[in-house]
Amino acid sequence: MSTSDASEFQVQFRASVQLLTLDPQRALTELFDLTAQRLVRFAMTITGNQPDAEDALQGAFSRIAFRPRLLAKAEAPWPYLLRSVRNEALRIHQRKRGGLLGDSDHGSGEESAEEQIVHEETADSVRRILQTLPRNQYEVVILKHWEDLTFAEIAETLGLSQNTVASRYRYAMEKLQRSLEPLIR
């Protein structure tokens, strides 16, 4: 995600959160439309499949619909929402005892067919390697790189210390670097 996309998302997200106290139904609809894809992708890191991830999203939004002021008054609303979805996904995962991600990246129209194939094969390899990480490290990497959260926001989302989050991230990056070396050569 580019910096401008991230900042546009933040602006839209904050506006929807502020609307929660004035028009909760409209605000929840806007929040859902804005965040659903990202939240499902995140929930899939826990549930291992899209239907359960979608259920986690629905569960989190159902809880928020009953008490929208909790999200509206949260000091950090995006980590709060991520944590809500994470908690729902963990509930589902614990019920099913299952357990990763499958977001596809498509190249721009400027890439040749060969470049697109190489890009897709590399992306698939990276996804497979990511899935070999321990779940707690995988979760931190997803939040850091795909959701552009800081270590402080990740710590708040996961209910951990920043040091724990930073070390999980460091260990994950070391494992990823070792695993990706054959792809780079």
CATH code, domain carrying 160: 1.10.10.10
Q: What is the pTM of this model?
A: 0.60
pLDDT of res. 54? 92
Q: Are residues 34 and 93 in the same domain?
A: yes
Do 172 and 120 lie in one domain? The reply is: yes
Q: Kindly indicate the confidence band of residue 107, based on its pLDDT and cuts at 50, 70 and 90.
A: very low
Q: 98 pLDDT band (50/70/90 cuts)?
A: very low
Q: HSE on the CB side for 138, CA within 13 Å?
A: 21
The proportion of the chain whose per-residue pLDDT surpasses 90, expressed as a percent, equals 30
- Domain-terminating residue out of 62, 78, 100: 100
Q: Is residue 10 part of a domain?
A: yes
Judge if 74 and 117 occupy the same domain.
no
Last residue of a domain, one of 74, 100, 126: 100
Q: Does residue 17 sit in the same domain as residue 86? A: yes
Q: How large is the average pLDDT for residues 156-181?
A: 86
Query: How many domains does the chain fold into?
Result: 2
Same domain, 11 and 80: yes
73, 72, 38, 75: which is closest to 57 by C-alpha? 38
Q: Which domain holds residue 96?
A: 1-100
Three-state secondary-structure class, residue 75: coil
Determine, yes or no, domain membership for 53. Answer: yes
